[in-house]
Amino acid sequence: MQKLVVPENNVSKNSGLGSRPAQPAARFALRGLAMMLLAASLGACSSWFDKDKLPPDEPADRLYNQGLYLLNNKREPAAAVKKFEEVDRQHPYSEWARKALIMSAYSYYTARSYDECITASKRYISLHPGSPDAAYAQYLIGSSYFDEIPDITRDQERTEKALAALDEVSRKYPTSEYAVSAKQKIEVARDQLAGKEMQIGRYYLEKKDYTGAINRFKVVVTQYQTTRHVEEALERLTEAYMSLGIVEEAQTAAAVLGHNFPDSKWYQHAYTLVKKGGLEPNENKGSWISRAFKKVGLG
């Protein structure tokens, strides 16, 4: 540690007041003050590095099991998180720290602290990408987004993030125990996104913005045709195309609807619309509607 240096209290020769040295008493006082400051500084440093005065680390397994007890028996996920995070702080890079990190993510999820769960899960994947629990960490990310899916009248950013994260589980960990549940949630998320497109499409249709409506219903037919909304989307396409006088596309939409969903109430509506125009449902094989359904084997 650098020694404290106190300069001589001489008056500058250029000050015009002469070069009178400092008085002995003043010099001794300054030196005494310097010694006191130096001693205090050394004492503080010694105290800081005195390991005997620091609280000892708790065993990693004890902290981990305390966290499990708080989570499973006391139903106190917030308190459990503190124990798991203490494992990571006191025993970094250990196997206990790895296990504690995934349990921290799960504890956050249990407490419905979804953003914290996502952060902890992403950290786990970045540190332990090859771990057997990486699939579960990815599943926790998707489930956190999924549990916050909003009503279709709201922005669907969380739904899109849920879909992407859950698709990652299905794609990267297809044989994991979480893949089946992820696929089920994916279908719900896709249905939600299709519902949002339908809501906007109906709005445009009501405003007689038929082109805007067709574009929305087209998204449902091409991207979400395995959802429950596709039948209505085909009927709405029939309605919009008939309103624009594009009768071939209207006939195709009605025909594809009748071929794939003959008992649907929406087919009855589409059939009635086409008949009122003096036409019959008739599929044009070159239509984008026909090609979209043949692409996934529904047509």
Number of Cβ within a 10 Å radius of residue 172: 13
4 within a domain of the structure (yes/no): no
261 within a domain of the structure (yes/no): yes
107 within a domain of the structure (yes/no): yes
168 within a domain of the structure (yes/no): no
pLDDT value at residue 294: 73
pLDDT averaged over every residue in the chain: 86
pLDDT value at residue 65: 97
CA distance 273 to 66: 68
pLDDT value at residue 295: 66
1 within a domain of the structure (yes/no): no
The CA R_g of the chain, rounded to the nearest whole Å, is 36
Contact 31, 6 (CB under 8 A): yes
Q: Choose one of 113, 137, 159: the last residue of a domain.
A: 113
- Long-range contact pairs involving 181-185 (C-beta distance under 8 Å, separation at least 24): 181/139, 182/139, 182/142, 185/142, 185/143, 185/146
Q: Which structural domain range is residue 65 located in?
A: 59-113
Q: How far is CA 162 from CA 129, 140, 246, in A?
A: 20, 10, 38
CA distance 257 to 217: 13
Kindly tell me if the per-residue pLDDT of 81 is higher than 70. Answer: yes
80 within a domain of the structure (yes/no): yes
pLDDT value at residue 273: 96
The DSSP string of the chain is -PPP-----PPPGGGSS--PPPPHHHHHHHHHHHHHHHHHHHHHHHHHT-GGGSPPPPPHHHHHHHHHHHHHTS--HHHHHHHHHHHHHHSTTSHHHHHHHHHHHHHHHHTT-HHHHHHHHHHHHHH-TTSTTHHHHHHHHHHHHHTT---TTS--HHHHHHHHHHHHHHHH-TTSTTHHHHHHHHHHHHHHHHHHHHHHHHHHHHTT-HHHHHHHHHHHHHH-TTSTTHHHHHHHHHHHHHHHT-HHHHHHHHHHHHHH-TT-HHHHHHHHHHHHTT------TTSHHHHHHHHTT--
43 within a domain of the structure (yes/no): no
Give me the amino acid identity at 165. A
Kindly tell me if the per-residue pLDDT of 9 is higher than 80. Answer: no
Instruction: For residue 291, give the nearest of 225, 211, 232, 192 by alpha carbon.
Output: 225
pLDDT value at residue 34: 52
Q: What is the pLDDT of residues 250-272, one digit of tens each?
A: 999 999 999 999 999 999 999 99
Per-residue confidence band for 279, with pLDDT thresholds at 50, 70 and 90: very high
Where is pLDDT greater, at 57 or 284?
284
Kindly tell me if the per-residue pLDDT of 19 is higher than 90. Answer: no
Kindly tell me if the per-residue pLDDT of 280 is higher than 90. Answer: yes
Per-residue confidence band for 138, with pLDDT thresholds at 50, 70 and 90: very high
Q: What is the pLDDT of residues 89-118, one digit of tens each?
A: 999 999 999 999 999 999 999 999 999 999
Model pTM?
0.77
pLDDT value at residue 293: 87
Per-residue confidence band for 41, with pLDDT thresholds at 50, 70 and 90: low
Q: Choose one of 113, 134, 151: the last residue of a domain.
A: 113
Please give the tally of structural domains in the chain.
2
CA distance 250 to 74: 62
Rounded mean pLDDT, 114-143: 97
Per-residue confidence band for 243, with pLDDT thresholds at 50, 70 and 90: very high
CA angle 179–225–234, rounded 5-degree value: 165
Kindly tell me if the per-residue pLDDT of 3 is higher than 80. Answer: no
175 within a domain of the structure (yes/no): no
Q: Choose one of 97, 113, 129: the last residue of a domain.
A: 113
89 is written with which tokens? 């702080």
Per-residue confidence band for 57, with pLDDT thresholds at 50, 70 and 90: confident
